[in-house]
Amino acid sequence: MIAAIVIALLIPYLIVYFYRNAYKRPDNFPPGPPSLPIYGAFWIVLAHGFNDLSTAFRKLGEKYKTKMIGCFMGPVPTIVINDPALIKEMLTREEFDGRMDIILFRLRSFWKRLGIFFTDGYFWHVQRRFSLRYLRDYGFGRRDDTLEAVLSSEIKEMLDMRLSGPKYPDEMEIVKGDLVYMPFFFSIPFINGVVHVLSRSTLSRSEYHSLWTLAKGTLTFLRNSTDMGGALSLTPWLKDVMPNYSGYNNLVKGNQVLLDYFTKVVNEAKETHDETYDRHFLDMYLTKMKQEFREKERSTYSVDQLILTCTDYTFPAASAVQIILSMLVERMLVQPEIQDKIHEELDRVVGRDRLPNLDDRKNMPYLEACLRETMRFDTTVPLTIPHRAMKDTTLAGYDVPEGTMLSANLVMLHMDKDIWGDPENFRPDRFLRNGKLDLSLDKSLPFGAGRRLCAGETYARQSMFQVFSAFMQTFKVSTADGKPRKLSPRIQGILTTIPEYWVKLNLRD
């Protein structure tokens, strides 16, 4: 009897308690959905777009009639921005340069806060400045004849896998007769290019297995990671209770490939390191690290940090750029007139007697426009890697407490009718004026903006042009089964990806 009375009194109390907490939020915070116990608004967001968080936040913006959605993701106050002007403001303001400290980022860095992408503050400033300063000496972030030659050599090997057929067992999984497997057919030049920048070496064709393993592992990590961390980041204890169902095991497995590879590379460099002579970036970092250990009690430099620096700079090359190209190939299968225009431009500017090079880039505006339109239409990082407010501040008249997580819904920028007119149409010509590329027409932000701008933007744009122009100079693409193709469903994790697919490469007449 007493127990029944207690329960009868407790139920109304809990209802009132949860109701009050559902609508409790910081003062002058942007409007948005209420919070549920433990997960905050997480399940409500998923209900508006389970497989597409950018669409979910667009719908929530329309529902609450706001350009900025305010809610709680677990216990963390969160703001998602749908307005193009506010997106640019947030990305370029220093007080929003922080990163969240969540399990998704720690599991990939020896359970510490290491690397470049997911760190902030003094540590991030020091490590980012050093790495960018000296990676430029090896061609990362500027044009470099040696790196361009390395990429040309890797591109020739890529083309030869189809032209002469596979030579090694791993290649037989990527090339079967005149069919090649996307996106992995594109993997080698991009990854080996970054490996060259870091260590002044590349893996030979007989060692390509390691590079494909990196690409496949990275893709696994990306597809099991959500833009804002997901349920695993909101309740980390799930990794111990249900490691498979929560996706934790797949995240660890996908990430471990990159860690294992660069642990081996860095340890080899460390064993042969000589402070009197720098062979490559790894040596420069190790020299600086030893100098810091001698002169300072505390240092941001460490072997683990070097491993994560290498991992971070390789991460996009092992994933994003080859996915972008595979999306453009698929687009040509759906809109074959795009392929015809690229071929015409290549024949007119380059011909067939040599590979295209970066000097040709300025004379091939249509191909460059196709790359830009692909990154606009299928936003590479839909919600950006989440930012964190480093101090109490304001945005668009709303208060933003220190520690607030902020994400920019770049899809809203890239699909804004006021900016693009007909954003739902894939139309590369939107970037052209009088037949020439006009960068003032490109309002897209596929690499972000501000100090968190992707450090690999220059490398990505140059290498994508170099790889794709050579690919298109050599081949005409068609569907593997000869039937018409529709665009495949997009998979949204941290990056937008598509399912792997086979494509037929015909030699051009």
The span from the CA of 249 to the CA of 239, in Å, is 8
The span from the CA of 359 to the CA of 420, in Å, is 29
pLDDT band (50, 70, 90) for residue 227: low
Q: H helices of 272-364, where? A: 281-295, 303-314, 320-334, 336-349
DSSP β-bridge partners for residue 102 = none
Can you give the pLDDT at residue 4?
Answer: 59
Contact 476, 333 (CB under 8 A): no
Burial class (CB in 10 A: 0-12, 13-18, 19+), 234: buried
pLDDT band (50, 70, 90) for residue 58: very high
Q: What is the pTM of this model?
A: 0.93
Contact 310, 454 (CB under 8 A): no
The span from the CA of 480 to the CA of 242, in Å, is 39
Instruction: With a cut of 80, say whether residue 361 has pLDDT above it.
Output: yes
What sign has the CA pseudo-torsion 477, 479, 485, 488? negative
The span from the CA of 300 to the CA of 120, in Å, is 12
Can you give the pLDDT at residue 229?
Answer: 56
DSSP β-bridge partners for residue 492 = 496
The span from the CA of 171 to the CA of 160, in Å, is 11
Can you give the pLDDT at residue 288?
Answer: 96
Which of the two residues, 201 and 251, has the higher pLDDT score?
A: 201
Can you give the pLDDT at residue 163?
Answer: 96
pLDDT band (50, 70, 90) for residue 217: confident
Can you give the pLDDT at residue 494?
Answer: 85
Of 422, 430, 358, 56, whose CA–CA distance to 226 is shortest?
56
Pick one of 3.20.140, 2.60.40, 1.10.1760, 3.30.43 as the CATH number of 15-82+385-414: 3.30.43
Domains of the chain: which residue ranges? 15-82+385-414, 83-109+144-381+415-507
Query: Measured between alpha carbons, how far is residue 423 from residues 182, 317, 374, 415, 443 in Å?
Result: 26, 27, 12, 5, 12
Topology given in CATH for the domain delimited by 83-109+144-381+415-507: Cytochrome p450 (1.10.630)
DSSP β-bridge partners for residue 502 = 181
